[in-house]
Structure 1
Amino acid sequence: MNKIIKVSLAEKVSQRLQSQIESSDFKVGDKLPTEPVLMEQFGVGRSSIREAVKILENKGLVNVQQGVGTFVASKVASKDSLTKQLQTASVKDVNEVRDLLEIKIVEKAALNRTADDIRELKQILKKRNLAADRNDLIKWIEEDIAFHIKISEASKNTILSNLYKTFAEQELKNSIEERYSKNISMHRMTAIHEDLFNAIVDNSPENAVKAILEMRKLD
């Protein structure tokens, strides 16, 4: 039986934008609309737009220039993009690479995080708690993904962070939904994430790894 692949909002947005690029609605060198404009156009949140742009960047279709904007780099997607490999790889292989990435990311985040990183992570956790209180699964998933992506950025390793963002787009949303379908409560998941947050605050890579491994047991 073939595996049913779920398509996230970010994937849908990236597919729409890729179609526009391939049909020359956007030409090479053109600047894509700003995040607020794309959010309004597609009716999705900021995190979905950022993840969609990251998918396009991994495919070699766009180039992101910090503080300037996102520009079309090519009309043809890279044949061997990481995104495509993730879609066709075995679950075992994907999970193995993701485990290795997450362990190294939380270790480095615990060592390299800044006060700004801590503040942003705390704000995200607050939003996750509120979503759990309201039983808002969609918002809760969105904030969970944002939390993990922010930790990857706190690692201060751009390659690790970019790799993880691709994994987050392709696999993390489905993983969270599967956990929830196993009747693992949103509040239970939040408690584990708070353990991870506290380990990062305390500059404790050992406790950060312990928390991420505990989280993975719920998969």
Structure 2
Amino acid sequence: MTRNFTSSQSDTAARRRAVAMTRTEKVSRTVARMVAKEIADRQLAPGSALEAESEMARRFGVGRASVREGLRLLEAQGLVTVRQGLGGGPIVSEPTGSEFGDTLSMYLQAKGVRFREVAEAALEMEGLAAAMLADRVAAGEDVDLDALAGKQIVPEMTDDEVVDTAVGFHQTLREMSGNYVLTLTGSALAHIYTFRMLEAHPDVWDDEEREGFEGPHQAIHNAIAAGEPERARRLAREHMREVIDRLSALNPRMLDERVDWR
């Protein structure tokens, strides 16, 4: 009888702990949503300091454990950074394409998605970004194309400079499209396939292979500057297709590999 009573007590205590943990989790998600909404409503810039955990707990009427867990949720999504030590505390962060790409990789891995699908989606997004930017130019918007013009590959560049310039061109193109969703999603996809590409073939843009890559960026820039969205879209898609074909030639199996979260 004692053994059964003790077991019953243990089960009851376990259930209570489980309920308490569930309640804390729900409260922490509510805290996370409220903090995220405040950041948006107050238009807080990255680097802005937020209230201390104790102040948030008092204002929201919850325990500090719930606030701490809520901030962890936001930190995992790249919205907040919690600094430790004297003068530390939560500050506003800005999610990057690479952070979003890391999170997206988890979901893609769970679904068994292959790199080919990522590359194909990225191809369409690059074309869309180029077309949207050309539309902005055609509509007479004040667009500074010098930032894009400065991202051109030239023969004397080192391999690292070629990579930085190529990645920078496409990142600038997405940012100038005027659509943040496209910028963030496209950058996340680019992070996934670029990381895998350079991991497998760090010399993908060596001296012999880069010759065909010096002109496409300039051609895309010219189409955008002329305010021709369909030509810009076509050239951007063709350029991305050429990159995908090059990867296939270097490693025929790579595009059929499954995305893995690292």
Tell me which moved more, 95-104 or 177-186.
177-186
CA deviation vs aligned residue, 1:84-129 (integer Å, no higher than 9, x gap): 235563122212221221221111011125555311111222xx32
CA deviation vs aligned residue, 1:173-203 (integer Å, no higher than 9, x gap): 5447859648763232021111111111111
Match of 1:117 in 2: 144
Match of 1:43 in 2: none
Bigger relative CO (Cα 8 Å, ≥ 6 apart): 2
Contact 1:117 1:150 in 2 (8 A): no
Match of 1:155 in 2: 177
Aligned pair partner of 2:92 in 71, 78, 81: 71
Match of 1:54 in 2: none
CA RMSD in angstroms comes to: 3.8
Alpha-carbon distance between aligned partners in 2 of 1:149 and 1:58, rounded to the nearest angstrom: 24
TM-score relative to the length of structure 1 = 0.57
Match of 2:156 in 1: 133
Match of 2:254 in 1: none
- Percent identity over the alignment is 18
Which protein is bigger by CA-based radius of gyration? 2
Contact 2:149 2:218 in 1 (8 A): no
Contact 2:163 2:205 in 1 (8 A): no
TM-score relative to the length of structure 2 = 0.49
Give the C-alpha shift of residue 218 in structure 1.
3.9
How many residues align structurally? 156
The equivalences for 1:48-87 within 5 A come to: 60-63=77-80, 71=92, 81-86=103-108
CA deviation vs aligned residue, 1:149-175 (integer Å, no higher than 9, x gap): 111111100100111111222213544
Aligned pair partner of 1:193 in 217, 241, 257: 217
